[in-house]
Structure 1
Amino acid sequence: MSGSDTAILVFKVVTIVTTILMRVSLLPDFQRMRKMKSTGDMSVLPCVLLYANCYLLCWYSYVVDNIIPLFLTAALGVISGAILAVFFYKWTAHKRDVMKVFVVSGVVMLLETIYGLVALLGWTGQSHSSTGTTLGVLVIISSVGLYASPMATIRHVIRTKTSSSMPFTMGVVNVINSFCWVVYAVLVDDIFILVPNASGALLGSIQLVLTFIYPRKAPSEGQIISATIVGPRTGSINSACAEQASLSVVVPSPAHDSRESRKSGAVEGSNFVALRSPEA
């Protein structure tokens, strides 16, 4: 076995390991969602693009006969991405918007399936190599979308000064995994693997930089929201200026709220005090 063959074998193994880690890299974020019973600021795009991109990779790897490591890791990505998307839908408060994303991704995957079947049957007039090239271009587009998906909330991150909406673990593993695939792509001379993963390494690095600039803020037990209630104007001299009443409300976090709700059963009605309306 030549040195080149040995290097290819080594990076086949390395890419399999790092890609498996990439496929499950969202689990820490989903564990946090499970505890909070909420998706928070997280976007559904990383989940959707994970299974959609990997589904396309399955077609490409089959056409170019790259079963190990490409097809194997892509199939795992389809399964893990779909499972994560289901749980995201379960915990999100924006089910209608998430369902729209699911429908769009489903249509795209259906079109990919139709093209793949028609091309492999020879009905498009393309050669086997030409079909692989077309699928490769689509892989580049979808892969760049996958790697850029954690940055879909970049404007929100800069505005709120926190990277809570960015999956940190996915960003770290993304950089490592992309680098390994870049080396593998150079060894096997596959431009359609090289380009998206080079983009992934770059975008992942930008995400990590943003994470360090705007570190994730730990959720607090509650947030205090202050408001000023302005009463109605009357014709009297003393009320020429609007009457105002300050109000502070503590909004507990979901975890804190669940603990307090269990205690509320023991609170008697006499403990509740009616507050006078500013208009009174």
Structure 2
Amino acid sequence: MSGNDTAILAFKIITIVTTIFMRISLLPDFQRMRKMKSTGDMSVLPCVLLYANCYLLCWYSYAVDNIIPLFLTAALGVICGAIFSVFFYRWTAHKRDVMRVFVISGVIMLLETIYGLTALLGWTGQSRSSTGTTLGVLVIISSVGLYASPMATIRHVIQTKTSSSMPFTMGVVNVINSLCWVVYAILVGDVFILVPNASGALLGSIQLILTCIYPRKAPSDGQIISAVINDPRAGSLQSSCVEQALLSVVINSPAQESRENRKSGAGDSANFVALRSPVG
């Protein structure tokens, strides 16, 4: 085995490992969503583009006969992206908008399926090599969209001065994984793997820079949120005015909650509620 073959084998293994981490890199963000029962400011695009891009990669890798590592890691991406998308839909408050994105991605994947089948069966008059080239161009476009998806809220990040809408772990793993694929692409001479991953490394680095400039903000101890609610008892026919009740909510960290539990609650108002912060 030559030195080049050894290097290719080594980077096949490395890319498989780093890509597995890339596929599950949204887990910390989804763990946070599970605790909060909300998707917060995060966009659904990273989830959708993960399975949509990997689905296209499955067709490309089959066309160019790159089963390991490309087809294997792409199939894993389809599964992970689909699972993440289901849970995102469960916790999001914008189900109609998310469903619209799902439908659009489904239509695109259907078109990819039709083209992939007809081309590989020879009905388009293309050779297998030509089909691989066409799919490769589509992979570049789709992959750049995947890597740029966390940047979709860049204006929101700059306006709010917080990167909470950007999946941080995904950004870190993305840079490492993309660089590994760049080296592998150079070794095997595949420009359709090289270009999107070079773009991914660049866009991922920009995301990390923004995360450092605008770090996530956690609720501060004792942060008070007040809300005015209608008192349902004010709906009697004898009353001509609508009474209102003021509800004060204090968000406590676990440490502060422990301190508060040791204090007497005799002085608390009936309209006072202390909540534990989901962060920390």
The alignment's TM-score, normalised by the length of structure 2, stands at 0.82
Aligned length: 243
Q: Is the 8 A contact 1:33 1:39 kept in 2?
A: yes
| Alignment partner of 1:65 is 2:61 | no
Unaligned runs of 5+ in 2: 228-244, 258-268, 272-280
**Map of 1:102-121 to 2, 5 A cutoff?**
102-121=102-121
Question: Is 1:173 aligned to residue 173 of structure 2?
Answer: yes
Letter in structure 1 aligned against 2:161: K
* 8 Å Cα contact 2:46-2:150 kept in structure 1: yes
Query: 2:164 aligns to what?
Result: 164
1:16-63: CA deviation from partner (whole Å, max 9, x where unpaired): 000000000000000000000000000000000000000000000000
CA distance in structure 1 between the aligned counterparts of 2:111 and 2:176, rounded to whole angstroms: 32
SS of alignment partner, residue 218 of structure 1:
coil
Taking the aligned partners of 2:116 and 2:71, their CA distance within structure 1 comes to 15
Amino acid at match of 1:153: T
The 2-side partners of 1:139 and 1:30 are apart by 26
Q: Which amino acid aligns with 2:105?
A: S
Where 1:124 maps in the other structure, the secondary structure is coil
Distance 1:223 1:94, change over 3 A: farther
C-alpha distance in structure 2 between counterparts of 1:19 and 1:130, whole Å: 27
Question: What's the CA shift string for 1:197-250, capped at 9, x where partnerless?
Answer: 0000000000000000001111346754689xxxxxxxxxxxxxxxxxxx9874
- Cα contact 2:222–2:252 (8 A) shared by 1: no
Aligned 1:102-251 pairs, distance under 5 A: 102-220=102-220, 223-224=223-224, 250=248
Q: Does the 8 Å contact 1:162/1:216 carry over to 2?
A: yes
Structure 1 residue runs without a partner (length 5+): 228-246, 260-269, 273-280
Q: Secondary structure at the match of 1:42?
A: coil
- Counterparts of 1:42-121 in structure 2 under 5 Å? 42-121=42-121
Q: What residue number does 1:10 align with?
A: 10
Letter in 2 for 1:126: Q
Q: Is the 8 A contact 2:224 2:251 kept in 1?
A: no
Q: Distance in 1 between matches of 2:33 and 2:16?
A: 27
TM-score by length of 1: 0.82
* Cα distance in 2 between the residues matched to 1:249 and 1:151: 37
Kindly provide the amino acid, as one letter, of the partner of residue 88 in structure 1.
F
Residue 253 and residue 108 in structure 1: after superposition, are their counterparts in 2 closer, same or farther (change >3 A)?
Answer: farther
Alignment of 1:232-271 (within 5 A): 250=248, 271=270
Contact 1:182 1:193 in 2 (8 A): yes
What letter is aligned with 2:74? A
The answer to whether the 8 Å contact 1:119/1:131 transfers is yes
